[in-house]
Structure 1
Amino acid sequence: MRLNQNMESLNVYRNYKKNLTVQAATLNKISTGSKINSAKDNPNKLGVSEGLRMQIRSLQMAEKNIQDGVSMIQATDGALATVNETLSRIKELTVQAGGVQNDGDLEIIQGEINQLKEHIDDTVNNFSFNGVKLLNSENVTNNDFPKYLNHVVGANVKDEVNIPIFNVTTEMLIDSQGNSLKDMDVTNKESLSNNLNIINSAISTLSSVRSKYGAIQNRLETSAENLSGSSLNLESAESRIRDTDIAFEMAEYAKTSILHESSIALMQQTNKFPQDVLRILENLK
């Protein structure tokens, strides 16, 4: 036994402080739901976890980009559907003009066709999605070689889809001879065959444009599903690294609580050791 340094009590106190530290860390993990709350908790796993978090957020933003892209394609297809219906009416009038019609009737038919052509140009020129025009690009002089809009669909370099930008104004809807829908005139009955070629070429071009946008939409929707699955898998991996195992931590907390209480009881006993020495000394004669 020692009077100046009560080694038994100091040793119990050291373990008491150690258990308090462990208990505080356990409470922090339980209250935050995360077992990595600072770099010191697990330096190696912290780097892995932060990398996963950045990739998850990037994938989630890429998925939003894809959803915006799908919305843009859907809006574009709606405008093209309107143009398609108008072209069908123009062909109907063109065939009608090839029947037994007098010059006055042909002028009336041509007048309606002119109005329909203006409707096509107005629809195409005024359509945009968030300021982006996909149907009237002045830089496109040949719809077989459109310009492209790069749309990011992933979290890595080159994860993008090229969305074509066409020009489907009546001036650019042409047949194999270079005759445009804009200049089509049904008042001349001898040009019926030529006019039918023009309108058929215009319908074919528009159908081709719509099919390309439809294929891109299917690709974007498939990419969105893939990103959603990848993001879920990464979240699961990040959860295993960072999230607290509540059952384990509660068991740890219960253990440290018992050790904490037992340490207090032992310190009360060990603090009486010097008094025991005094009692021994008192009995000396």
Structure 2
Amino acid sequence: MRVTQSMLSSNMLRNLSSSYSKMGVLQEQINTGKKISRPSQDPVIAMKGIGYRSDLNRVEQFERNLGEVNNWLDSSDDGLDKVGQALHRVRDLIIDANNDTKTAEDRDKIAKEIDQIKLQIRDLGNTKVGDKFIFSGTKTLSPMYDPNGTAPLYDANGFLDTNYPGVNENVNIEINAGVEITVNTNGIGIFNEIDDMMVQLQSALEDEKNTGVKGNYDALLGLADENIDTVLTARSEIGARQNRVEMMENRLSSQNLIVTKQMSDNEDVEYEEAITNLITQESIHRAGLAIGSRIIQPSLVDFLR
């Protein structure tokens, strides 16, 4: 086959163009730090990158969910802690009221303090996280206690009706694929029992004031101890869930690191390798230019000069 000057020139130009293209790719890798800048350069890397990003987004969403879980659990534990402190004070007042040396004026002061503690406990029952009431079951937009509440949502005492749908149900948040955790505490039963005890105590103090007949403070003391134990049990359950959340946080943190490393290995360029390849390609390109200048034969114009 006869090799013409035009064939040599065409091959040289094609090879030079290919060399420029390779240097451009290597330069872009060094500038961006990525192996590819568009999917067409390497569809396999692009598809793997999409998968890794989906995994990373999912892990980050679960980590955000855990933040919400911690808000609920911490707020529930803090609210019940304050309730427990109030109940201990109520217990002390019951013991104090059971003292036969107390005057009517003393008992009146005890009754007033009991009334304020009752209101405080009711307020704690309406604890919120953001705009959600955490002790109201799935009825998170309704306060657990509302003196002006209307039926059928509220009973005659102003508390959410335990028979109303959602009041006794759990609020669950997903913390991993297919894994949910209950973040709320069923507070209706706890606060109803406490409020009933407080009403009985107020009634006993009022009757003693009006009739002089001493109330059954021993029974009320037993009720106070039962309610304190109930609150402690609820707090222990919250603590167990907090421990589980902490373990899940560690697991998600490890998953985040693993997926990030996989994505980096898949997409990020090795700078040392890329710079070496660019220098090598530049040397090849210069050699191609030098050889091309010898391949192109002098034209008639060159002789006329």
> With structure 2 as the length reference, what TM-score do the two structures score?
0.79
The answer on whether the counterparts of 1:174 and 1:181 sit within 8 Å (CA) in structure 2 is yes
Deviations, residues 204-234 of structure 1 (Å, cap 9, x unaligned): 1111222222222221122111101101001
Report the more deviating stretch, 9-18 or 59-68.
9-18
The equivalent of 1:118 in structure 2 is: 119
Match of 1:161 among 181, 189, 196: 181
Query: One-letter code of the match for 1:86?
Result: A
Query: One-letter code of the match for 2:187?
Result: N
Task: State how far apart, in whole Å, the 2-side matches of 1:162 and 1:258 are.
Answer: 65
CA spacing shift, 1:165–1:76, aligned 2, 3 Å? closer
The equivalent of 1:208 in structure 2 is: 233
Task: State how far apart, in whole Å, the 2-side matches of 1:35 and 1:220 are.
Answer: 38
Report the more deviating stretch, 96-105 or 206-215.
96-105
Task: State how far apart, in whole Å, the 2-side matches of 1:267 and 1:274 are.
Answer: 15
Q: Given the alignment of the two structures, is residue 147 of structure 1 paired with residue 164 of structure 2, yes or no?
A: no
The answer on whether the counterparts of 2:35 and 2:268 sit within 8 Å (CA) in structure 1 is yes
Shift of 1:102: 3.8
Q: Given the alignment of the two structures, is residue 68 of structure 1 paired with residue 68 of structure 2, yes or no?
A: yes
> With structure 1 as the length reference, what TM-score do the two structures score?
0.84
RMSD: 2.9
Q: Given the alignment of the two structures, is residue 98 of structure 1 paired with residue 130 of structure 2, yes or no?
A: no
Query: One-letter code of the match for 1:232?
Result: L
CA spacing shift, 1:170–1:236, aligned 2, 3 Å? closer
Task: State how far apart, in whole Å, the 2-side matches of 1:75 and 1:234 are.
Answer: 32
The equivalent of 1:80 in structure 2 is: 80
The answer on whether the counterparts of 1:171 and 1:181 sit within 8 Å (CA) in structure 2 is no
The equivalent of 2:287 in structure 1 is: 262
Shift of 1:35: 0.5
Task: State how far apart, in whole Å, the 2-side matches of 1:123 and 1:269 are.
Answer: 92
Shift of 1:240: 0.8
Task: State how far apart, in whole Å, the 1-side matches of 2:163 and 2:186 are.
Answer: 9
The answer on whether the counterparts of 1:35 and 1:244 sit within 8 Å (CA) in structure 2 is yes
Q: Given the alignment of the two structures, is residue 247 of structure 1 paired with residue 272 of structure 2, yes or no?
A: yes
Report the more deviating stretch, 201-210 or 3-12.
3-12
Task: State how far apart, in whole Å, the 1-side matches of 2:264 and 2:93 are.
Answer: 65
Shift of 1:166: 2.3
Query: One-letter code of the match for 1:163?
Result: V
The equivalent of 1:59 in structure 2 is: 59
Task: State how far apart, in whole Å, the 2-side matches of 1:112 and 1:121 are.
Answer: 14
Q: Any residues of structure 2 matched to 1:37-56 within 5 Å, and which?
A: 37-56=37-56
The equivalent of 2:10 in structure 1 is: 10
Gap runs ≥5 in structure 2 = 137-143, 145-159, 209-213
The equivalent of 2:199 in structure 1 is: 182
CA spacing shift, 1:170–1:34, aligned 2, 3 Å? closer
The answer on whether the counterparts of 2:59 and 2:252 sit within 8 Å (CA) in structure 1 is yes
The equivalent of 1:22 in structure 2 is: 22
Task: State how far apart, in whole Å, the 2-side matches of 1:11 and 1:163 are.
Answer: 71
Q: Given the alignment of the two structures, is residue 133 of structure 1 paired with residue 168 of structure 2, yes or no?
A: no
Query: One-letter code of the match for 1:62?
Result: F
The equivalent of 1:231 in structure 2 is: 256
Report the more deviating stretch, 133-142 or 231-240.
133-142
CA spacing shift, 1:139–1:15, aligned 2, 3 Å? farther
The answer on whether the counterparts of 2:197 and 2:220 sit within 8 Å (CA) in structure 1 is no
Query: One-letter code of the match for 2:116?
Result: Q
Shift of 1:244: 0.7
Report the identity percentage: 21
The answer on whether the counterparts of 2:83 and 2:124 sit within 8 Å (CA) in structure 1 is yes
